[in-house]
Structure 1
Amino acid sequence: MLIQASRFVNSFWLIFFGLSVVADLNLVPGLSGFLRAVAKRGKDDEGDDPAGKRRRPWWQVTVPHGWFTHFYVVGVLWNAVALFHSLIECAWAGSDPSVVGAALASTLFQAHVTRRLYESAFVSIHRPGGRMHVVGYLIGVVYYICVPLTLAHPLAAAAVVGSVTDAWRRGSIAYLLEPVDGTKLAAAADGIRHVLKFAFTASGRSGVGALMSGFCVMGGVYAWGVGNAHQHRYHVALAKLRGGEKKRENVEKKERTGAAKEYGVPRGGWFESVSCPHYAAEVLLYVGICAVACGSGLGAGGIATGAAGFGPAAALARTAPMLASVAGNLSIAARRNHEWYLRHMPDYPKGRWAMIPGIL
């Protein structure tokens, strides 16, 4: 089952990335237009669907944009299961840094997706009538199933797949964590201790490899922290713009049409350089998580390091397709949003980039 699950996850990332490239470069005109529509984040723009394609049945199957919250519910719950098993494996194989590093990466993702659930439920203001295509919705759900399995060490992933198989066989999701006994809870608690120690000391190992590992782990945690802090800041700023505007900006909005009247021009911080700094921040935090997962095994001397699934090379093979898919998908969304702002908001600053200054 683990092999099949791994193949499914790897195939998902490859397909996800491939479709992002097709959509962004308009390689297949009909398909590319549909994929760009699927990637939309709720803005209603009739100009996105030339030649009346919106009348076609498959363009009409949409769900409320507010259903974005479902993604983070799935992410929080599913990653919690994966993290529980990761902590147990971390305690039982605590001497191997690749196992502990994977558990740390899962911990960072748990904090990130929990914050996103809070923001989606209590901070973000979804425009009434905003829709997203059902295909995009289903891809989002699968995405938050695949990320935890990608970050989890193969030992933990095997335990997760085994628990899912057991739950399916017994007909109850309660068996996803069964049996939860004192031994497993104690192991999970011990795993937390290993993760915290690793996060702040990189296991205290010596040598060039260990120094590189420490740099990757500490640098990854720092990048994750900066990305999370900035993304939260910009999500709050965007929500405030939707909640109320200055009188001057309301006057400017009279020149706009359609949904553009509901959007303000964000100011401050990274917004002065790019239109979608929250997407840039998300890419940054994922880079940090992947750096932790990949760099943790550098210079390790544990006997398990050379085994299949252990070490930095194996972690890179797992996480690189995911990171490429995240960056590709967000770059499409950023470019689309940036073009939408320029097209519908005459007062929008023309010198901004979409997501990364000088690049995109």
Structure 2
Amino acid sequence: MDFIAHRVDCVLEATGMDAVDALRTFYVLAAATTLSVSIPGSLRSRFLVYGPRATSTGFGSPSQPSVTSGLLDYLATWRVPHSYFAQFYIASVLSSAFWALQLFSRGSVFQAIASRLSLEHQQQSMSLNQTLVCWILLAMQGARRLWESLTFSKPSSSQMWFVHWLLGIGFYLATGVAIWIEGSGTLLTEDLTLEHVQMTNAPKLRTFLCVPLFLIASGLQHDCHHYLFSLKKYTVPDHPMFRGVVCPHYGAECVIYLSLALVAAPPGQIVNKTLLACFVFVAVNLGLTARTTRQWYTEKFGKDAVQGWWLMIPGIY
């Protein structure tokens, strides 16, 4: 652990940022990179499209091969099985367990990260109850998605670009830190004990409203995933959640992370800015995937099949 703590300390010192700024920068840069890759059709079709959608011909390739297109084609062959998606949630669950041990024991890795926070970030700190509630919610999300990825899996030859896989692993490991990092000021001065699990105090209005929102979105997403798994083959879904919306399960995912950002808002702030940056990354990444999915539906089943469909939630095209 001391070696890990030392490496964390060296990385933060090299970047000249504390962990809060580093996490926000990671989310924003990751979202910007994904967005920039999605703009040129030559990059989008090679690197962002995966699974059955990878057979889409809508984006196409240059008719005249060139050195650049040849290099892009070569890089696009660096792929991993689509089943590696389960590793995202394994990373999430293991990260939640690791940070639970670190936070309760004030471990060396926690100390290496939290002690390097700026005074401003330490002073604007979440309460211990907020930190614990958010950790529990994220652990529930990771455990549910891991269970779904194992239970609702089918044999498939689909693949995804290896950078997509690395970015996903990085996202879930980063979010394991983001869920508590803005509570570091309190965690450094007060001990987190099992007594905080009892939740004897009445929840604040924000928590009272946003935790049910998180749970409802989780339930709807689970229902969508179960329905998609039940389909014998890819077709236009007729489930109520999918009527007029291409990817309601992606919309539910956005609501899940937005509710976490609201629950985790430090005193005097509307939202937790680190988790808000996390939400931005999720919204950008899933929004682009939803657009690709809609185009795939259009090419496979005709324009009328998805004419006017919203992307992830009603009102978002």
TM-score after normalising by structure 1: 0.68
Aligned to 1:69: 86
Aligned to 2:96: 79
2:220 alignment partner, SS class: helix
Do 2:127 and 2:183's aligned partners in 1 also have CA atoms closer than 8 Å? no
Structure 2 residue 307 is the aligned partner of structure 1 residue 350:
yes
> Compared with structure 1, are the counterparts of its residues 103 and 38 closer, same or farther at alpha carbon in structure 2 (3 Å cutoff)?
farther
Identity %: 23
Structure 2 residue 295 is the aligned partner of structure 1 residue 339:
yes
> How far is the alpha carbon of 1:22 from its aligned partner?
2.1
AA in 2 matched with 1:144: Y
2:305 alignment partner, SS class: coil
Do 1:85 and 1:159's aligned partners in 2 also have CA atoms closer than 8 Å? no
Structure 2 residue 232 is the aligned partner of structure 1 residue 215:
no
Do 1:219 and 1:288's aligned partners in 2 also have CA atoms closer than 8 Å? no
Aligned to 2:163: 135
Aligned to 1:42: 51
> How far is the alpha carbon of 1:8 from its aligned partner?
3.6
Equivalent-residue separation in structure 1 for 2:154 and 2:269 (angstroms): 40
Aligned to 1:107: 136
> How far is the alpha carbon of 1:215 from its aligned partner?
2.5
Do 2:241 and 2:248's aligned partners in 1 also have CA atoms closer than 8 Å? yes
> Compared with structure 1, are the counterparts of its residues 67 and 159 closer, same or farther at alpha carbon in structure 2 (3 Å cutoff)?
farther
Equivalent-residue separation in structure 2 for 1:85 and 1:33 (angstroms): 44
Equivalent-residue separation in structure 2 for 1:157 and 1:123 (angstroms): 41
Which structure 2 residues correspond to residues 129-278 of structure 1 after superposition, within 5 A?
129-154=157-182, 188-193=193-198, 196-197=199-200, 201-202=202-203, 214-241=204-231, 244=232, 262-278=233-249
Do 2:42 and 2:61's aligned partners in 1 also have CA atoms closer than 8 Å? no
1:75 alignment partner, SS class: helix
Aligned to 2:33: 19
> How far is the alpha carbon of 1:87 from its aligned partner?
5.3
> Compared with structure 1, are the counterparts of its residues 145 and 340 closer, same or farther at alpha carbon in structure 2 (3 Å cutoff)?
same
Equivalent-residue separation in structure 2 for 1:130 and 1:153 (angstroms): 36
CA RMSD of aligned residues (A): 2.9
> Compared with structure 1, are the counterparts of its residues 101 and 38 closer, same or farther at alpha carbon in structure 2 (3 Å cutoff)?
farther
Equivalent-residue separation in structure 1 for 2:104 and 2:219 (angstroms): 25
Q: How many residues align?
A: 274
Aligned to 1:289: 260
Do 1:124 and 1:239's aligned partners in 2 also have CA atoms closer than 8 Å? yes
2:212 alignment partner, SS class: helix
Equivalent-residue separation in structure 1 for 2:76 and 2:186 (angstroms): 39
Equivalent-residue separation in structure 2 for 1:33 and 1:13 (angstroms): 24
> How far is the alpha carbon of 1:49 from its aligned partner?
4.3
Equivalent-residue separation in structure 1 for 2:288 and 2:154 (angstroms): 22
Equivalent-residue separation in structure 2 for 1:144 and 1:111 (angstroms): 13
AA in 2 matched with 1:17: A
Equivalent-residue separation in structure 2 for 1:36 and 1:197 (angstroms): 53
Do 2:258 and 2:276's aligned partners in 1 also have CA atoms closer than 8 Å? no
TM-score after normalising by structure 2: 0.77
Q: Please say which structure displays the higher CA radius of gyration.
A: 1
Relative to total residues, which structure has the larger helix share, 1 or 2?
Answer: 1
Equivalent-residue separation in structure 1 for 2:207 and 2:129 (angstroms): 11
